[in-house]
Amino acid sequence: MTQKQLQPWQVIFGGISGLVLTIGLARFAFTPLLPALQAQTGLDDAHAGVLAAINYAGYMTGAIAVAWIDDVRWRHRLYSAGLWMALIITALMALESSLVVWAVSRFVGGLCGAAGMLMGSGLVLGWLMQKGQRPELGLHFVGIGLGIVVSAMGAWGLSQIWPSWDAQWLAFAGIGLFFLWPAWRWRPPLPATTADVSSVISSTSGIPLRWMWTMMASYFAAGWGFVISATFTVAIVEREPLLAGQGHLAWAMVGLAAMPAVFVWDRVARVVGDKQALLIAFGLQTLSVLLPAVSGSMLSAMAGAIGYGATFIGIVSLTLAMVGRLSPNNPGKVMARFTLGYGVAQIIAPVVAGYMAHASGSFHAALWVTAGVLLVGMVVLFSLPKMDSKT
């Protein structure tokens, strides 16, 4: 299918399906399936945190690769490979009860996440700008929320049919087939001319260094806030005596809140500017992280899950779209460079949280630390130099 034959809704829907595969399954399925994995295999909190860190190490490795790939043809090929690998590594989790196998699966799953989140989003944003469409990623990032909902409801439904943890992972790979067709068929096509790619100007050449490093530091804090809830939301809820069995519902609330939130944050940014919208999102996410730390009630758990889902997606969408617009020739590359700090946080934070929970038997202390990191991120973001009237 050529570029002229594709309609914007097809490219957007293909990108959404790609995010469900590479983020919802390859990365996020670990969250709702973690309690069953721990209960049936004896995996402890510390090793669960290590596996999560390995996943994010894979994501950061992919981000580093994306940050140095200029050739759009290679970005397109690697994104395409990531769609298939997302299914393969999901099935790999079920093959053997082995930390080594799981670690390989989680690392490659992180690479798939980088392919979908950075290469896929960059290709979609680049195609929209080439077609004269509004250069926003809100609609595209519906795929993240939908992926969370699919992973949450899929885990709950599969647990009723196949209680075995390995059968659930295999079934998730089967579910992924339903999203592979549109993701593959409606991939953002290559530009009409891909020659002379070596002459593309460096993606960050026009971005002041102070602005770039300030934004990266703030995004590091956002990555810390994102990964704790992304990894342990279900486990945190299941540990509360009055909430056992409700973890999947909390994770589904995260995804349901994320899906409409992407539109809301786009509109908030149009009114108050990107920086102000990001500050609001940071503040609300801090409150959302603290709710389950101060109360073990169902109301706090659900409110925290909804608040987290509605804010993390806004921070990601606004940040990546904002930096992507600064590099119209290769938005995926500059997105990847800004994601490196986000990725470092995603490696450190789950290990810290996992060991803290293993030592104390609770995630409460880790949630307080996370709230503190987010507050520091807000302070850093507040000092962000002005680039133009929108930031």
pLDDT in tens, 95-128: 878 889 999 999 999 999 989 988 888 888 777 7
Across 200-204, 293-297, 370-374, least confident range: 200-204
Q: How far apart are CA 174 and CA 155, in angstroms?
A: 13
Evaluate if residue 205 carries a pLDDT over 60.
Answer: no
Structure tokens at 219: 């995004």
Which is higher by pLDDT, 240 or 77? 77
Short-list 279, 388, 244, 262, CA closest to 316: 262
For 148, phi then psi, to 5°, come to -65, -45
Q: How far apart are CA 283 and CA 276, in angstroms?
A: 11
Domain architecture of the chain: domains with CATH = 8-191+205-382 (1.20.1250.20)
Quote the Cα angle for 234-146-287, to 5°.
50
Q: How far apart are CA 384 and CA 144, in angstroms?
A: 27
Q: Give this prediction's pTM.
A: 0.76
Residues whose CB is less than 8 angstroms from the CB of residue 296 and which lie 6 or more positions away in sequence, other chains included: 240, 241, 242, 243
Q: Is residue 208 within 8 Å of residue 24, measured between CB atoms?
A: no
Task: Name, of 144-148, 173-177, 345-349, the range with top average pLDDT.
Answer: 173-177
Residue 155: exposed, middle, or buried by beta-carbon count in 10 A (0-12, 13-18, 19+)? buried
Q: How far apart are CA 309 and CA 249, in angstroms?
A: 13
Residue 337: exposed, middle, or buried by beta-carbon count in 10 A (0-12, 13-18, 19+)? buried
Q: How far apart are CA 328 and CA 289, in angstroms?
A: 35
From the centroid of its chain, how far is CA 105? 17
Short-list 84, 339, 95, 318, CA closest to 203: 339
Evaluate if residue 347 carries a pLDDT over 60.
Answer: yes
Which is higher by pLDDT, 238 or 151? 151
